[in-house]
């Protein structure tokens, strides 16, 4: 990895890129941290050595404290609109990524950092995690396409009540709602996510990308549009070297050797 950052960390471990928020004491996002997060994200997604991207935190008790309100207070209306437009670009980048995206969440997770994880494919949470979208307390809404993603993820009634009330949810509640997919003891979180990510990294990248596109993009389409997308993706895979290798390996009763 070439770039260095002050507010985030980025490293690749066995094909798994870890993008960790790293602005102590609480990972409050100012403009510099947002810019670095976006730059590191794009760098990891463009790196052929990174086959899976994990969003995590390097701060012990906090995943994210949301926006740095001191930075927010200095913005006028036009500047806020520009900030939110940038947030939406981050959401689009995550949604359109052709690599599996995972989140490893521990401690307090509120606001923008948590919102980015909603665009990941799977969210692993430590048993000490606490989740919240408290923007109602400052007469605001979560701006990283969260009003759209959250309702699709946990259902409109639960999403709207969660945003109306601005209360914190425990890790167990988040699992029950479908906000996270697996709970892990905090001491085992990184190892569990690394192991799962390595499983994905060993799978055929083109097929993983096709699954991600059809499920993610197809979820916002009509059924017919979704089937049309599935047809194009399946047809492209059928012409791929990995598909031919997979079929041959199955027939020859041997492990497949995927393209890298």
Active site residue 188: no
Question: Whole-angstrom Cα distance, residue 88 to residue 119?
Answer: 11
* 127 conformational bin, left if phi > 0, alpha if psi -120 to 50, beta if neither: alpha
List 6, 115, 165, 173, catalytic entry: 115
**Buried (b) or exposed (e) across 132-171, using 16+ Cβ within 10 A?**
bbbbeeeeeebbbbbeebbbebbeeebbeebbeeeeebeb
56 within 8 A of 190, measured Cβ to Cβ? yes
Residue tagged 């690599």 (tokens): 99
Q: Which residues pair with 65 in a beta bridge?
A: 110
List 20, 36, 135, 233, catalytic entry: 135
Give the closest residue to 216 by CA, choosing from 99, 53, 50.
99
Active site residue 36: no
Question: Whole-angstrom Cα distance, residue 257 to residue 260?
Answer: 9
Catalytic positions are 115, 135
């Amino acid at each position: 990895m070439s770039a260095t950052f002050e507010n985030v960390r980025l490293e690749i471990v066995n094909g798994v890129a870890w993008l960790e928020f790293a602005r102590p004491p609480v990972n409050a996002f100012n403009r510099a941290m947002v810019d670095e997060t976006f730059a590191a994200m794009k760098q990891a997604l463009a790196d052929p050595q990174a086959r899976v991207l994990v969003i995590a935190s390097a701060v012990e008790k906090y995943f994210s404290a949301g926006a740095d309100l001191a930075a927010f207070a200095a913005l006028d209306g036009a500047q806020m609109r520009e900030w939110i437009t940038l947030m939406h670009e981050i959401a689009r980048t995550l949604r359109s990524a052709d690599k599996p995206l995972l989140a490893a969440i521990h401690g307090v997770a509120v606001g923008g950092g948590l919102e980015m994880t909603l665009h990941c494919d799977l969210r692993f949470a430590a048993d000490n995690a606490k989740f919240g979208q408290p923007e109602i307390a400052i007469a605001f809404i979560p701006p990283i396409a969260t009003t759209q993603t959250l309702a699709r993820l946990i259902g409109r009634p639960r999403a709207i009540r969660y945003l109306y009330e601005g209360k914190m949810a425990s890790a167990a509640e988040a699992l029950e709602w479908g906000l996270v997919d697996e709970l892990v003891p905090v001491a085992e979180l990184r190892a569990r996510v690394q192991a799962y990510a390595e499983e994905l990294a060993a799978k055929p990248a083109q097929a993983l990308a096709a699954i991600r596109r059809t499920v993610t993009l197809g979820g916002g389409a009509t059924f017919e549009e979704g089937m049309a997308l599935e047809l194009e993706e399946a047809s492209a895979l059928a012409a791929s070297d990995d598909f031919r290798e997979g079929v041959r390996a199955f027939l020859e009763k041997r492990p497949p050797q995927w393209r890298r």
